[in-house]
Amino acid sequence: MQIRSWYGLPGEIEVENELWHLVKVGGVPLNHPPVVNLILRRGLPREDRLRLSYLHEYGHFQTLPLAVAHALLLLWARRRQQRTILGWLTWLAALAVAHEAVWELASEGYAIAHDGAAYRESYRKTPNPLALVFWAVMGSLGIGLSAWLLRSGSRAQG
């Protein structure tokens, strides 16, 4: 399905099945692990899964500038030169995880905002105890790691 973002880039969403989905921006596929579909959509009826998968992918597409800004902020915050390979690898891993977590949160937030009452209704009909775990883990990874990366960057400057 062809889509267009608010920032003007054309894109494409393919929801291939309940598990795998793909969003392309200007022909470039944005790959990310199907963690949301594995955890958040567990047990939901097929039509709910497909509707929410589509909205979530659309969310990835629409929140791309936010995800890029977040990654740039963390890159910018890294003023300190890492002295060790391990320091670099730790920083890189933390950046990748924080970026992924923030983007998933933003995309799912987009899905919630656009699905509105239907979203709550789907989860009321099919309660998912893992949803709470998802929000807790993604929230602490996204916000916690970002804060840590920003802090450790600015602390090293002084």
* Residues making contact with Zn ion (CB under 5 A): 36, 104, 107
CA 20 to CA 50: how far, in whole Å? 10
How many helices (H) and strands (E) in the chain? 7, 4
Strand segments (E) across 16-156: 21-25, 28-30
Residue 156 C-beta: closest distance to Zn ion, Å: 32
| C-beta contacts of 15-20 below 8 A and 24+ residues apart | 15/50, 15/53, 15/54, 15/57, 18/46, 18/49, 18/50, 18/53
Q: Which is nearer to Zn ion, 53 or 146 (CB)?
A: 53
Residue 117 C-beta: closest distance to Zn ion, Å: 22
Residue 28 C-beta: closest distance to Zn ion, Å: 16
Q: Which is nearer to Zn ion, 53 or 153 (CB)?
A: 53
Apex CA 110: angle with CA 57 and CA 76, to 5°? 85
Residue 35 C-beta: closest distance to Zn ion, Å: 7
Question: Rounded to the nearest 5°, which phi and psi values hold at 12?
Answer: -150, 135
Token code pair at residue 25: 């921006």
Residue 80 C-beta: closest distance to Zn ion, Å: 31
Q: Which is nearer to Zn ion, 107 or 146 (CB)?
A: 107
Q: Which is nearer to Zn ion, 22 or 150 (CB)?
A: 22
Q: Which is nearer to Zn ion, 60 or 153 (CB)?
A: 60
- What is the end-to-end Cα distance of the chain in Å, rounded? 50
